[in-house]
Structure 1
Amino acid sequence: MTFTFAPAASFTERAGLFVSLTGGTNSGKTFSALRLARGIAGKNGKVAVLDTEGGRTLHLKEAFDFDANVMQAPFRPERFAEAALAAEKAGYDVLVIDSFSMEWVGVGGVLDWQAEEHARMGGKDSTKGASWIKPKVAHKAMVYSLLQRRIPIVFSIRGEETFVPPNKTLFKSITNKAFPFEVTVSFRLAADRKGFIDLSDPLSFKMEGAHRQIFRDGDRINEDQGAALAAWARGDQGARETQAETPEPSEQRQPSNRDRLFTAARAEAAKGSAALRTFRDGIDPKADKALAPILAELERTAEHADDDDGFPGFGGVNWEAN
């Protein structure tokens, strides 16, 4: 096969776009996801919704125009990949999956599937053994399939607080621990401020520099932001001009040294324990002490990266609540 290359500017097909909104019950995930989706699709665009929670999105059918598929169990990973491909082939402008957590914890989802395999093997299989092979392979295949899609996808993901002795509370997204690293933009939503963007904690969001002019601290998630994201994904001239108007780094609020160290530590933790240890050995002891609670949490992330076994509990980003 002969490969040819063309200037990047000549590509007009939109880039892949994943957005995730994570929150507990009554945090405004669904409403916010549909607002973003309408903005991404445009006034006359078509929005598809894959509902995995018994048709709960249909409660908003008076407020939003969309087509729905109410998915029933089993929530096997490949079915999510098939739904995304079907939405793309049908010409929808955006897909909302509400809630994506069912792929992980729902009936027939990854955790349930692993438990079935464990029982089938007589309960003698370890948590890192053969019972994980089929669900793990299926989950990875789904992720790889989703990454090939050019239809923008908005993932609504459940989250919950977990108490960690002696006196720490973590907020965890209910999905595979590695999935949040695949998305383009992600936010955590709180029940007491439904749908509002909070950029005060670097652990609670993910976005690229180009998106900081789209999502501002204290703003409520809305259609205009979705439209701006869609323009960015298409590489529209208007989007590039908006980015060109972004203030120089010296004019922007600079992240603290602690924030920069954490970002670097999180990247190293995703590579495994050895990489995290090397990073930790290379920083100033005072910085290490200041980051101690975060680094301790990242050690678990690094251990899971070592295993690469589809960690059998909750995964994704762990957000400190206290």
Structure 2
Amino acid sequence: MTLPPPVRVGRQQQAPHTDQFDDGPFAFRPATKDGAKARVSIQGVSGSGKTWTGLSVAHGLAEGARFAVIDTERGAASLYVGHRGIQFDSLQMHRYDPRDLVKALAAAAQAGYPVVVVDSLSHFWKGTDGTLDQVEKAKGKYGNNSFAGWKDGTPMQNDMVEALLAYPGHVVVTMRSQTEWVLQENDRGKKEPTMVGLRAEQRRGIEYEFGVAAEMDINNRLRFLKSRCPALHQKVLEQPDGDRDIARPLLDWLRDGAKPVDTATWIDAATAIDATADGLVALYREVEAASALATPLMHPETGQPTNLGDLIRERGAALRAQPDA
């Protein structure tokens, strides 16, 4: 199969957003959980057990299949391979550009892993080449204005989060925590630092992007900060079994009254030799309604990371540009 020459070759050279794709109707549809996947974040201090718990959750979500681990912790996750039957494939990363995480997710999607674990997501915020580094590098373009450097850093961060949330399988991330302090007035009327809890080492509030967010303390005690799954709401687990205590209730809830959705069907439709420009607009609307435009994948022609929405746009623009369109 030969597709029209690709228009999009990089983030800075996207196909122009045409009216057909941009100006769709605001159409309400019946709400469903069809195709919904688990999105789990686990944060904690060093030694709290977040890596093992994340792996055991992933094992349960994968239901015996091998899953993928994107490892920033110098192989820490691999020390658990084989324990309680857990088997997975690992990708070791040593630099933490958010765009590289998008590429890794695209590679995992291409390989068909049902679950991907990121251990840990904190490195893509404050590690080498992480978002904070990208902002520092970018500020030189804006007269060393760090605030202006976020013009470059924010889109990278947002694209990374979108790729995580749109991965066509379940996602489990771990994050390091740090103690958070605020200045509060004491009974003598003086301001003093007061510990108010733990905060994930990532962009503030990122844990709430996930359907399930939990924190673990040094005693391996897990507390759910947020859960859209009623069975997990506000629960506290002592030394949790990630498979039994978290993955199984999540899968039961996600599957209740829902139909599976295979993103490969959309990819096949986007790259079909008999696809039409109008048909691709309709496909775009369908994918958009499923909140799956940011689904990471490898471009079928260039082999470079892209996403489903951009692939459909590109193909549609190429077909529109053909003389006999």
TM-score for both structures, normalised by structure 1? 0.62
* 8 Å contact kept, 1:36–1:221: no
Partner of 2:91, secondary structure, is: strand
The yes-or-no answer on 1:22 pairing with 2:43 is: yes
Q: Output aligned runs, 1:82-121, within 5 Å.
A: 82-118=103-139, 120-121=140-141
The structural deviation recorded for 1:59 is 1.3
SS in 2 for 1:149: coil
Kept in 2: contact 1:101–1:158 (CA 8 A):
yes
Residue of structure 2 equivalent to 1:308: none
The SS at the match of 2:223 is coil
**Helix, strand or coil for the counterpart of 2:36?**
coil
The Cα offsets for residues 145-175 of structure 1, whole Å up to 9 and x where unpaired, read as 2232231111100011144441301422100
Q: Distance in 1 between matches of 2:229 and 2:87?
A: 31
Contact between 1:17 and 1:150, CA under 8 Å: does it hold in 2? no
Q: 2:201 matched to 1:174? A: yes
| Mapping for residues 209-288 of structure 1, pairs under 5 Å | 210-212=230-232, 216-222=235-241, 223-224=243-244, 225-235=246-256
Aligned counterpart, 1:160: 178
Q: Distance in 2 between matches of 1:72 and 1:153?
A: 21
**2:168 corresponds to 1:147:** no
Mapped contact 1:187–1:206 kept (Cα < 8 A): yes
Q: CA deviation at 1:107?
A: 0.1
How far 1:133 moved relative to its partner? 1.4
Structure 2 counterpart SS, 1:84: helix
Mapped partners of 1:134, 1:167: distance in 2: 33
Cα drift, residue 227 of structure 1: 2.4
Q: Give the strand-richer structure, 1 or 2.
A: 2
1:81 aligns with 2:107: no
Q: Is contact 2:229–2:253 with CA below 8 Å preserved after alignment?
A: no
In structure 2, what is the Cα distance between the partners aligned to 1:152 and 1:161?
29
Instruction: State how far apart, in whole Å, the 2-side matches of 1:61 and 1:188 are.
Output: 23
RMSD of Structure 2 on Structure 1 (CA): 2.6
C-alpha distance in structure 2 between counterparts of 1:117 and 1:209, whole Å: 40
Contact 2:229 2:250 in 1 (8 A): no
Q: Which runs of 5+ in 1 are unaligned?
A: 200-204, 238-322
Equivalent position amino acid for 1:65 in 2:
Q
In 2, are the aligned partners of 1:35 and 1:221 still within 8 Å (CA)?
no
Distance in 1 between the 2:226 and 2:193 partners? Answer: 27
Query: Is the aligned partner of 1:45 residue 2:65?
Result: yes
Quick check: 2:124–2:130 contact (8 Å CA) kept in 1?
A: yes
> Which residue does the alignment assign to 1:317?
none
The correspondence for 1:69, drawn from 77, 91, 97, is 91
Aligned residues: 222
- Give how far 1:45 is off: 1.5
SS at structure 2 position matched to 1:21: strand
**Is 1:60 aligned to residue 80 of structure 2?**
yes
Shift of 1:221: 2.7
CA contact (8 A) 2:102 2:163 kept: yes
The equivalent of 2:261 in structure 1 is: none
Give the one of 204, 208, 211 matched to 1:184.
211
More helix by share: 1
SS in 1 for 2:70: strand
Return the letter of the residue paired with 1:107: T
> 1:97 & 1:173 partners in 2: Cα distance?
14
Ranges of 4+ aligned residues in structure 1 off by more than 4 Å? 1-9
1:127 pairs with 122, 137, 146, which one?
A: 146
- Distance in 2, matches of 1:112 and 1:79, equals 14
Q: Is the 8 A contact 2:136 2:146 kept in 1?
A: no
* Cα distance between partner residues in 1 of 2:215 and 2:69: 20
Q: Larger C-alpha radius of gyration, 1 or 2? A: 2
Deviation by residue 1:109-156 (Cα, 9 ceiling, x = unmatched) = 0111111223x348x433322x22111111112222223223111110
1:244 paired residue number: none
Matched, 1:138 2:164: no
